[in-house]
């Protein structure tokens, strides 16, 4: 009797293995979604693929590629200049109020230039940021500016805050780049 029991157990195990390997009806028959190519963070997020709430945000496409949101060079410059408004990729309209704080070394005579470019690099407008307190320091100094600009022909642009450089020496030049939307 023990031999028959062992034979039946082996037969059941063998049938289960063959069934698993050769018969597809036990597998899920879920169709693959139509995955089109994704080439940027914006495309990835628009298609509602998972977006990680990091800074900068990242989106993971089904093909395994990860796309990072363009926030300009904000993180590289955070110890020198910080912009409160507008934030990277913010939707803006004319006139735009720009505010934040920069180290006193970013200013010359309590000011520095700002320009707004469209997606093709064409200048839409300029402004001068003014220090709101004493600028002759190495500490952070609050600033404000209002920039009026022409109607852009592109949906995206770039706000460029330039370190004032009266010497025009390349080693003294610097800029903060902030991507914006119109």
- Tell me how far apart the 2 most distant CA atoms of the chain are, in Å: 102
pLDDT by residue (tens digit) across 53-73? 999 999 999 999 999 999 999
pLDDT tens digit sequence for 26-48: 555 555 455 568 999 999 999 99
pLDDT score of 135: 94
* Mean pLDDT of all residues in 13-33: 64
- The answer to whether residue 12 sits within a structural domain is no
Of 49, 69, 89, which one is at a domain's C-terminal end?
69
Q: What is the pLDDT of residues 95-135, one digit of tens each?
A: 999 999 999 999 999 999 999 999 999 999 999 999 999 99
Q: Cα(first)–Cα(last) distance of the chain, in Å?
A: 83
pLDDT above 70 as % of the chain = 90
Q: Are residues 79 and 52 in the same domain?
A: no
Q: What is the pLDDT of residue 10?
A: 81
User: At which of 69, 93, 115 does a domain end?
Assistant: 69
| 138 and 108 together in one domain | yes
Structural domain containing residue 60: 35-69
For residue 24, pLDDT beyond 70: no
> What residues pair up with 81 in beta bridges, in sequence order?
102
Over the chain, what is the mean pLDDT?
Answer: 90
Examine the pLDDT at 4 and tell me if it is beyond 80: no
Q: What is the pLDDT of residue 6?
A: 77
What's the Cα-to-Cα distance from 38 to each of 24, 41, 54, rounded to whole Å? 32, 8, 20
Say yes or no: 123 and 94 in one domain.
Answer: yes
Domain-located, residue 28: no
Tell me what percent of the residues of the chain surpass a pLDDT of 90. 77
3-state SS, residue 41: helix
Question: Which of 124, 41, 92, 95 has its CA nearest to residue 50?
Answer: 41
Query: What's the structural domain count of the chain?
Result: 2
Judgement on whether residues 85 and 151 belong to the same structural domain of the protein:
yes
80 versus 1: which is more confidently predicted? Answer: 80
Q: How confident is the model at residue 138 (pLDDT cuts 50, 70, 90)?
A: very high
The CATH number of residue 161's host domain is: 2.60.40.2550
Helix extents (H) in the chain: 2-22, 41-46, 74-77
Distance CA 165, CA 28 (A): 65
Q: Specify the pLDDT at position 1.
A: 65
User: Same domain, yes or no, for 60 and 84?
Assistant: no
Which of 15, 50, 69 finishes a domain? 69
What does each C-alpha distance from 99 to 50, 128, 130, 132, 164 come to in angstroms?
Answer: 32, 11, 10, 10, 16
């Amino acid at each position: 009797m023990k031999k028959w029991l062992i034979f039946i157990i082996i037969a059941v195990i063998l049938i289960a293995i063959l069934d698993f390997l050769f018969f597809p009806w036990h597998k899920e028959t879920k169709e693959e979604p139509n995955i089109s190519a994704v080439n940027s963070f914006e495309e990835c997020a628009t298609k509602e693929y998972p977006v990680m709430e990091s800074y900068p945000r990242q989106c993971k496409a089904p093909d395994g590629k990860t796309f990072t949101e363009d926030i300009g060079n904000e993180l590289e410059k955070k110890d020198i200049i910080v912009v409160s408004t507008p934030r990277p990729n913010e939707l803006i309209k004319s006139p735009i109020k720009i505010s934040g704080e920069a180290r006193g070394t970013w200013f010359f005579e309590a000011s520095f230039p700002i320009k707004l470019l469209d997606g093709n690099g064409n200048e839409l407008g300029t402004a001068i940021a003014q220090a709101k307190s004493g600028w002759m320091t190495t500490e952070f100094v609050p600033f404000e500016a209002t920039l009026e600009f022409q109607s852009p022909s592109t949906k995206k642009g770039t706000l460029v805050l330039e370190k004032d450089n009266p010497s025009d020496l390349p080693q003294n030049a610097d800029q903060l780049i902030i991507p914006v939307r119109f």
